[in-house]
Amino acid sequence: MRIGVLLFPADPWPQTVARARHLESLGYAHLWTYDHLSWRRYRDEPWHATVPWLTGLAAATSRVRLGTMVTSPNFRHPVTLAKDAMTLDHISEGRLTLGVGAGGTGFDATVLGGEAPEPKERTARFVEFTEVLDAVLREPAHSHRGQHYTADEARTYPGCVQRPRVPLAIAAAGPRALDLAARVGEGWITYGEPNAADQSAAATEAAVRRQAAILNERLAAHGRPAGAIERYFLVGNTAERPLASVDAFEDFVGRYERLGFTDIVFHDPRPGDPVFTEDPKVVDAIAERCC
C-alpha cells in the first residue's frame, strides 16, 4: 500500500516547500492538491493556482509523485489542461499523475458566469472532457467537435515524459464515470458515496464495494484485468478519522487493502482548520511505521 498526503495550496510558499520536502523525506509516495479557484471555507482566504503551485513543488522535490485530486471541467478546457500537464510532466521528470473528476456545484461551477449543470449533463461533459484530454495527450495532433468541446488540430509537442501520456486517475462513483475510469484510466479515485446520509465506516465500505464491483465489471468488458488500474481512497470526507492514532491508521489501511486499494491519501492536518484537526505529529509517526 502506498500512502500519499493532500496539501492545500493555501500557505506561504516557503512554508509549503518546507512541508513538501519534509513529507518527501519521510517516505510518502505522493503529494496532491485540490484544483479549485476558491474552495469552501477558504473562499476568502489565501488559495493559490494549482498548476504553478505544483510546478514549484516539482522543482523543490526530487522523488515524490505529484498530482491533482482532482481537476475538472468546471473551469478547465481539455486542450489547455493537456498542454499544462505535458509541461508539468517534463518539469517533474515524469512524476505527475493527473486526477480528474466531473466537478461539483460549488463556487467553481459558476465562476465563469454559466449555470451549474445538472448531474446528468455534468457527467456527459466529464466524459467528453476526459476523452478529449486523453486524445490530445496521446496524439501528435487531435481535432474534435462535440457537444461541449471543440479542438482544431490541438498539439502537445514534444509529448509527455511518461508514455503514452501522463497517467489519468479518474474520480468516479456512478456507473458512467466508473465505465470511463475502466476504459481510459490508469487510476480510480473514490472517498465513498458523495453526499451520503450515512457516512459511517461500515456504510462507506459498503459503498466502495459496490463501486469496485461495477469498476471490475467494466474493466472486464473493456478487456482489461482488475489489476490494470490503481485504486486511490481519499481519507477525510466521511465520519471516520483514521489519523486519530497510528494504530487507527494501520487498521484503516488494512481494511482498504483487503478491498483492493493500492493507495491511501489523507489530508495533511492544518492547525486552525475546523475539519482536519489531528495532531500534525501523527503524520511523522505514520511514516515511521507505514512508509
What's the Cα-to-Cα distance from 155 to each of 32, 100, 137, 161, 175, rounded to whole Å? 27, 20, 8, 15, 31
- For 205-242, the pLDDT digits (tens) are 999 999 999 999 999 999 999 999 999 999 987 888 99
Lowest mean pLDDT among 24-38, 81-95, 226-240: 226-240
The predicted pLDDT at position 278 comes to: 93
Q: How many domains does the chain have?
A: 1
Name the pairing type of β-strands 2-6 and 96-100: unpaired
The CATH number of the domain holding residue 253 is 3.20.20.30
The predicted pLDDT at position 148 comes to: 96
pLDDT at 33 over 80: yes
pLDDT band at 194 (very low <50, low <70, confident <90, very high): confident
- For 142-161, the pLDDT digits (tens) are 999 999 999 999 999 999 99
Cα 123 from Cα 177, distance rounded (Å): 7
The predicted pLDDT at position 51 comes to: 98
Q: What is the mean pLDDT of the chain?
A: 95
Name the pairing type of β-strands 142-145 and 150-154: antiparallel
Write phi, then psi, for 27 (nearest 5 degrees).
100, 10
Beta bridge partners of 100: 71, 170
Domain range spanning residue 172?
Answer: 2-290
The predicted pLDDT at position 247 comes to: 96
pLDDT band at 87 (very low <50, low <70, confident <90, very high): very high
